Chain A
């Protein structure tokens, strides 16, 4: 199943993949255990002439065991997860390298880049439809906004997903590690154009990113 995961291209995504593998191995082992036991019982205890079923109402030791052991395993699993959750959702980066504002609007991602003043909403902002340009190996902080209905900003290769809610600004951050082009689908049903609401993230090398910025603002000023 893991081979079906798209390639991960972000530092933050590694946390998610690690916990995905943990869940995967945990559930596969439990499933095999239960399935084997069940198959064994089904074959061994099929009705045979002259053999009566065991008369038993249960076993308290077993009940305690199969309550306590799963509780313990799940508790460890919860604790393992919470550090990652805090890192991914609560520890908003104070000094990200790049700040971008993305607004979900039926059926586009409107991407706003601040100019050299590093502030949004000023004259030197650059606004592009459905195109997110970022440098490689730098942390990106995106402020997600919604203009109409709820959308969900999703970049499968970075493992990142966040609903976009009109009336709120929700932060999302990641650090891409590989140059290339990646899709940004909308993952929450947002109307008849939901399917095909798809942006593009271009991860540039550092030099290319500088070049892109220069060219983009030059074109804008024309």
Chain B
């Protein structure tokens, strides 16, 4: 079957489509990947702004949010920029929903899955290009429905991204009407998008690997996307069904979940988490795959324990189906089950530990290059370690009695999903950008973005562990309403200031991304990029000094603090400006075919890869994906299509 597909596409190599078939309803997996990337990045802005709004409310409760004072006082959500409790609940709910379903999944699974699977296994496209296109446009439909919820009477869903029934299923309990229904409808639609993608990925990988691409020569990122697709295939229908049941309860007055009429509220939790825990691995597995891909390239050495890595992922995929009850230790579920779920949860920690040790093993004896993608991969490893270890606390059903539903869990999953998935996402974008867009993102700007993001990510989310240990409940609108939390308010202020800095830290990335995609390299634009990045750092420096002098709770810094802050700000801004002036390469210049000296097949394809990917004949694979620094070979890399000394062939599979 792969042969006929190959020929069919080969014939299309020089075919130039019109605007609509090239950029909008494209069947090319690479274009669909880029479309998913744009969708995810746009929604990331929405999700991020929602986060900053509710962080503002947590630090300075019931004050006007800066930049939103212009809103009319008749607004239901933010009259004159004040956050109302229902708006707060909505912001929390939609931040999570958008980040999970419309940012991390479209980018990690939709974009990287589409882009990498055919290129890395030597296929000309996905098995079902039309289904692939549909998968994207159904995702867009889901995003449109989700966005529409913001504009309906009563506001958007406000019952948490977990949508616990009956709060979510009986409109009177929240005062949210259409919003919650649209939320469920959107998830129902999005589940179809993921389902179509999963079927495509699985079929493609099983049937369309090029000659010589045996299972154990498949790159780990493709393995991770394969395992993710299997989880998606099995998990998303559960979400879709649960969403449909929620719609039935809300619109057609069925009573699946409403206890007042004989329904069972815990049924929703069981369905949601039976989907939800595999979902967690859908979010993190591609990140693990990207890290496993970047580490060998920039250590110039084979991945440590390739087979152990594969088996660990398969173990995770299996075990992820029997751990969902750890979300429900305190839910009222029979406590005897709690013991069983604690056991399975700690078992699933073992493959994660194995992966971490193998990443360390890959660093050992390497020749490490600190490029921007590598910095993100290293950050991924250490942040994933923190996120994994904090998981031990919640996995213990006894400790969970106290820290359940506190900021400790918020800290934990942000270390996994932001520290893990999103750092992998940024690293992956920078790494595959040359193949995706034919030009390389700038390393100097990338380093400024990386370090700012790394520092402020930790300053936002690490202190949340402390809040959680102090008993700070999640999803509360105003911590100052509780005596036992008031002493910790400076931590809340610090988190919010850091979150604002984290938001500003994304500006260099935005400049870098657009400048590279659209080849903006005019002198004035370069100066603007340098100046804005320098200003961001200077502003953050000023505020940091002011806070160091005055503490968190003093809004107006003294003259001394202002002077010291200004000096520090100028010094930092000048430093960043000059660093960028000296180190920024021409923005949007054409990238070489294989800028990182990497082995895998996507770098064998021309840049930009044409429709059909590989020219008239498909590459034939003769070695494993990570054969770097092979003894006796001149270069420290060679494409997978090169033969290898038989002495090493066995070791490299």
Contact = CB atoms under 8 A, between A and B. Distances in A.
Interface stretch (B32-40, B327-335, B579-587): B327-335
Contacts of A1: 465-466, 469
Contact of A4 (B306, B342, B466, B481): B466
Contacts of A15: 398
B299 A38 contact: no
Given A38-B382, A57-B652, A23 B393 contact: yes
A88 B398 contact: yes
Interface in B382-400: 382, 385-386, 389-390, 392-393, 396-399
Interface string A2-27: 10111000000101100110011011
B381 A194 contact: no
A56 B481 contact: no
Contacts of B469: 1-2, 4-5
Given A31-B389, A35-B382, A56 B365 contact: yes
Given A37-B360, A149-B173, A161-B402, A188 B332 contact: no
A89 B338 contact: yes
Given A53-B366, A90-B335, A156 B471 contact: yes
Most buried by A among B174, B264, B299, B473: B473
Interface string A183-222: 1011111111111101000000000000000000000000
B402 A195 contact: no
Interface residues of B, number: 99
B396 A81 contact: yes
Interface in B251-267: 259-260, 264-266
Contacts of B628: 53, 55
Classify the interface of chain A: helix, strand, loop or mixed.
Answer: mixed
B100 interface: no
B561 interface: no
Contacts of B398: 15-16, 19, 81, 84-85, 88
Contacts of B353: 66-67, 70
Given A27-B390, A45-B363, A71-B350, A34 B399 contact: no
B89 interface: yes
Interface stretch (A110-118, A124-132, A135-143, A164-172): A164-172
A124 B385 CA distance: 57
Contact of B636 (A52, A106, A170): A52
Contacts of B406: 187
B477 interface: yes
B160 interface: yes
Contact of A165 (B332, B336, B364, B389): B332
B571 interface: no
Contacts of B648: 55
A160 B330 CA distance: 10
Nearest to B302: A57
B543 interface: no
A177 interface: no
A9 B421 CA distance: 40
Interface string B88-124: 1100000000000000000000000000000000000
B85 interface: yes
A161 B404 contact: yes
A95 interface: no
Given A5-B470, A46-B368, A149 B166 contact: yes
A184 B120 CA distance: 56
Given A6-B484, A46-B370, A48-B367, A192 B349 contact: no
A58 B305 contact: yes
Contacts of B342: 78, 81-82, 85
Contacts of B356: 34
Nearest to B169: A149
B335 A31 contact: no
Contact of A188 (B397, B405, B470): B405
A86 B477 CA distance: 34
A159 B465 CA distance: 16
Nearest to B353: A70
Contacts of B346: 74-75, 77-78
Interface in B352-375: 353-354, 356-358, 360-361, 363-370
Contacts of A195: 85, 88, 475-478, 481
A45 B364 contact: yes
B257 to A, nearest CB: 11
Given A31-B385, A38-B363, A42-B368, A156 B484 contact: yes
A208 B367 CA distance: 72
A6 B382 contact: no
A57 B88 CA distance: 51
A24 to B, nearest CB: 8
A152 interface: yes
Nearest to B92: A189
Nearest to B359: A38
Given A84-B398, A191-B173, A58 B308 contact: yes
Contact of A160 (B354, B357, B401, B651): B401
Contacts of A154: 405, 471, 473
B367 A52 contact: yes
A189 B330 contact: no
Contact of B85 (A54, A66, A90, A192): A192
A199 B476 CA distance: 15
Contacts of B556: none
B512 interface: no
Interface in A62-99: 62-63, 66-67, 70-71, 74-75, 77-78, 81-82, 84-86, 88-90
A200 B514 CA distance: 55
Given A53-B367, A70-B349, A187-B406, A34 B636 contact: no
A54 B607 CA distance: 31
Nearest to B465: A1
B300 interface: yes
B185 to A, nearest CB: 21
Contacts of B366: 41, 45, 53-54
A55 to B, nearest CB: 5
Contacts of B60: none
A26 B388 CA distance: 13
A162 B402 CA distance: 9
A42 B378 contact: yes
11 contacts: A27-B389, A31-B386, A38-B360, A58-B307, A77-B346, A78-B342, A161-B401, A164-B332, A166-B259, A166-B265, A198-B481
**In the A-B complex, the 10 residue pairs with the closest CB atoms:** A54-B365, A195-B477, A167-B259, A156-B471, A89-B335, A53-B301, A58-B305, A27-B389, A41-B363, A195-B476
Interface of B: 84-86, 88-89, 158-160, 164, 166-167, 170, 173-175, 259-260, 264-266, 299-308, 330-332, 335-336, 338-339, 342-343, 346-347, 349-350, 353-354, 356-358, 360-361, 363-370, 378, 381-382, 385-386, 389-390, 392-393, 396-399, 401-402, 404-406, 465-466, 469-471, 473, 475-478, 481-484, 488, 628-631, 636, 648, 651-652
Given A4-B469, A81-B397, 8 more contacts: A34-B356, A34-B382, A45-B299, A77-B346, A148-B173, A159-B402, A189-B160, A192-B175
